[in-house]
Amino acid sequence: MSHACHHHHDDHDHSPGDSPRYRRVLWAALIINAAMAVVEIASGWRAGSLSLWADALDFIGDAANYAASLAVLSAGLLWRARLAWLKGWAMALFGVGVLARAAWAAFAGEPPQAATMGLVGTLALLANVSVAVMLYAFREGDANMRAVWLCSRNDALGNVAVVAAAGGVALTGRAWPDLLVAVAMAALALHSSRQVLRHAGEELRRTPAPAPSAP
């Protein structure tokens, strides 16, 4: 899950960008995660599943992680910190939204569509496994490479939780398995966003903005 996948960079990080293959894999991982985020947000809305929304939050965090890894190849610390700051706030806002909707659904919501949950959860699991397979060859690289691979590997656990929640909804006819998984994943995302914002804030405070160029 994305809360376990954040890595801290400094000005002395060694870039993995020497490998064009690694850059291509990162771009593929970014596109897959961004696409799955859109699919899960839309499917979660149609199926009434908050766990799909919460898992979409994880995909959003992962896409931002891959974007940050690509940015490391050429961007300075200031821009990486700005990207992390924006990511932290986006995750926090989405996490609060999931928790608020879960509170409402606990009283007024109906059970989600278990079949859609299971299908999309399985698709998400396949997406994360495919990304992990692509990154497997780079798992023994530098700290950034290892973190990126572990991130994708660990995310499969969130997908398994969504599929399990779908089974729970199908068996009980109740919404609580979906709500339980959604609340747990949203809480982890909020914890993660707090860490990201703290680190990004520290980097922004100690990194001077570039001086404007002379006309």
Closest CA to 14 of 203, 143, 136: 143
Residue 198 is given by DSSP the state H
CB within 8 Å of 8: residues ≥ 6 apart: 199
| Residue 67: per-residue pLDDT | 80
| Residue 153: per-residue pLDDT | 66
Condensed to tens digits (0 to 9), the pLDDT of residues 135-166 reads 777 766 555 566 566 666 667 777 888 999 99
Q: Residue holding tokens 């909707």?
A: 101
| Residue 12: per-residue pLDDT | 42
| Residue 194: per-residue pLDDT | 81
| Residue 168: per-residue pLDDT | 94
The CA distance from 152 to 155, in Å, is 5
What structural domains and CATH numbers belong to the chain? 19-205 (1.20.1510)
pLDDT, averaged per 10 consecutive residues of the chain (215 residues), comes to 50 52 88 94 91 85 78 65 74 79 78 93 92 78 58 74 92 91 82 78 70 50
- Average confidence score pLDDT of the chain: 78
| Residue 143: per-residue pLDDT | 52
Q: Residue holding tokens 């002395």?
A: 12
Closest CA to 28 of 84, 67, 80: 67
Torsion of CA 124, 127, 133, 134, to 10 degrees: -150
The CA distance from 174 to 48, in Å, is 12
